[in-house]
Amino acid sequence: MSNLLYTVAIILIIFWAIGFFAYSAGSIIHILLVIAVIAILLRLIQGKRL
């Protein structure tokens, strides 16, 4: 589950970067960034459990 969460966070950050630098898509890009940051923070807080 945590590996999936980490993958989704990375994908969201990549989409945010593409949207931020390629064109102005409004506030949805920033919402994606916030979701990605929250996902990464959750992974860091939870630690690496298998």
Q: Is the pLDDT of residue 50 over 80?
A: no
Q: How many domains does the chain have?
A: 1
Q: Which two tokens stand for residue 9?
A: 């966070």
* pLDDT reported for residue 2: 65
Are 14 and 29 in contact, with CB atoms under 8 Å apart? no
User: Residue 18: its pLDDT value, please?
Assistant: 76
Instruction: Please compute the mean of the pLDDT values over residues 17-38 and round it to a whole number.
Output: 73
- CA 48 to CA 25: how far, in whole Å? 34
Note down the domain range covering 32: 2-46
pTM here is: 0.47
CA atoms within 13 A on the CB side of 27: 0
CA distance 16 to 50: 29
Tell me the per-residue pLDDT of 1-22, one tens digit each, with 9 for 90 and over. 567 878 888 888 888 777 766 6
Helices (H) and strands (E) in the chain, counts: 2, 0
